[in-house]
Chains A and B, each alone.
Chain A
């Protein structure tokens, strides 16, 4: 547990065709490099789970990895729409994408229930919205104590949960700080997990407000400096806002996206195959 390995080997072992995979990171510490490794390894028919599908899920959807998306907000934050996601939903390109849609509060609570080993979570939410009619996983529930009618959503327990963090030590204990979103919840809720980190250090210096995940709660740790780019890792990098802006034009057009895919993510595949030939 908390085994330190390469990104390539971790993804090869964890992600299988048809798996339910959650990559989390709320604007900060998004495991982008891990998502691109899933594209490189050619995984298909994934159920992708993420509160805020943004650039990395747009890339995975455009590359044809996903059969279904479970989410609460799909956009390019601060910029606009996700064009590969829209093309998949509106036109079924490159493959049709089934969607299961929630609110942030609903998704966050689904992870909490998953982490807690409970079958569902209760919240005040969704009432009066049209999401209730479109998402079968939103149900009313009556409080056994007060009789009040609340909302229930089922636990999320992905096959694989992946996050990025600042640091790990050599035993695979992980330390993260800043905006940690649902990092702890998704790792604890998932059957198996991977944390990519900026660096592996001899000793984790205590930091106020840091979240620690002990090595025995994690399947794999991989050192991937810059693995959150274009999002950021507080203390290591800044958010690359220009990349988010540039993605709008790249993703708008199928051919431009295809060129981007072959010239960036898949170039490494050719390099690897070339080495082996």
Chain B
């Protein structure tokens, strides 16, 4: 449901900077269902990739072979991402906080002596800064949804309203946080992530229990429409091609 909800969030024709894993699956699902003209951009420099099978990495040969153009890594960041040419940045997270700040660097208080060393930033800080908007896809648990992230790898809304403008970040920031339980959106006044939608069969209390801060719940809470047969078939097809 998380992947399908993420795919639905991508409008046809959008230019989408895609990370590997669930974001890539969701973006490819969108391209095969409602958004055939979605432009997939991977940080390896492939612009307009149209993979027939799901890539395991951001630099698989199928991305280069099917792309409109392949550019260097400095070019993808400097010419395409930095000036705001990309509509949507798709990110994952190890931790995310109530203002949508993301940690993919270390778990623990001491950077020099971390409890868990994570892969690090990659392209995420600048994707979070410069894409017109950001969609975060992450499985919901109190360990992942924390009051304060241990390390700010990528900025969401900082410490609250106005922080992005103060920092000079050009993009709008996280517009949607899509989890396995529902969808959160930033409150227009407080910038705090607020539960606005639950997936079928999920009670709001499940979402609040899986969040490490007192999660605000919108007054009118919608329910994600059930997956359609076409979406399920396209997703099965993608996963089957990805192999066991």
Contacts and interface: CB of A to CB of B under 8 A. Distances in A.
Interface in B131-175: 151-155, 158, 163, 167-170
A134 B110 CA distance: 11
Contacts of B56: 77-78, 239, 241, 244
B61 A26 contact: no
Given A86-B117, A104-B73, A108-B73, A179 B59 contact: yes
A105 B167 contact: no
A148 B63 CA distance: 37
A109 B119 contact: no
A184 B73 CA distance: 10
Nearest to A233: B61
Contact of A103 (B44, B111, B122, B152): B122
B58 interface: yes
B44 A26 contact: yes
Given A103-B123, A124-B130, A128-B152, A109 B78 contact: yes
A182 interface: yes
B114 interface: yes
Contacts of B154: 129
Interface string A112-141: 100000000001111111110010000000
Contacts of A105: 77-78, 81-82, 123, 125-126
B103 to A, nearest CB: 9
State the main secondary structure of chain A at its contact with B. Answer: loop
Interface in B93-121: 105, 111, 113-114, 116-121
Nearest to B61: A234
A28 B44 contact: yes
A101 B121 CA distance: 8
Interface residues of A, number: 53
B72 A185 contact: yes
Contacts of B122: 52, 72-73, 103-104
B87 interface: no
Contact of A73 (B45, B46, B121): B121
A75 B73 CA distance: 18
Contact of B77 (A75, A86, A108): A108
A276 interface: no
A53 to B, nearest CB: 9
A257 interface: no
Contact of A185 (B74, B111, B129): B74
B20 to A, nearest CB: 6
B237 interface: no
Contacts of B55: 78
A232 interface: yes
Among A73, A127, A128, A182, which residue has the most Cβ atoms of chain B within 10 A?
A128
A181 interface: yes
A26 B44 CA distance: 6
A192 interface: no
Nearest to B168: A127
A129 B153 contact: yes
A102 B124 CA distance: 11
A71 B122 CA distance: 9
A128 B169 contact: yes
Among B60, B114, B120, B155, which residue has the most Cβ atoms of chain A within 10 A?
B120
A209 interface: yes
Contact of B61 (A72, A73, A180, A232): A232
A108 B123 CA distance: 10
Nearest to A92: B113
Among A85, A101, A104, A241, which residue has the most Cβ atoms of chain B within 10 A?
A104
Nearest to A182: B73
Interface string B34-54: 000000000111100000000
Interface string A157-187: 0000000000000000000001111101100
Contacts of A124: 82, 126, 129-130, 168, 170
B16 interface: no
A90 interface: yes
Contacts of A86: 116-117
A27 B105 contact: no
Contact of B129 (A108, A125, A238): A125
A127 B167 contact: yes
Contacts of B70: 178-180, 209
Given A26-B59, A124-B82, A124-B129, 19 more contacts: A52-B122, A72-B120, A72-B121, A72-B122, A101-B120, A103-B124, A105-B81, A105-B123, A105-B125, A108-B78, A124-B126, A124-B170, A130-B111, A178-B61, A179-B46, A179-B59, A181-B59, A182-B72, A238-B61
A-B pairs with lowest CB-CB distance, top 4: A27-B59, A75-B119, A73-B122, A78-B56
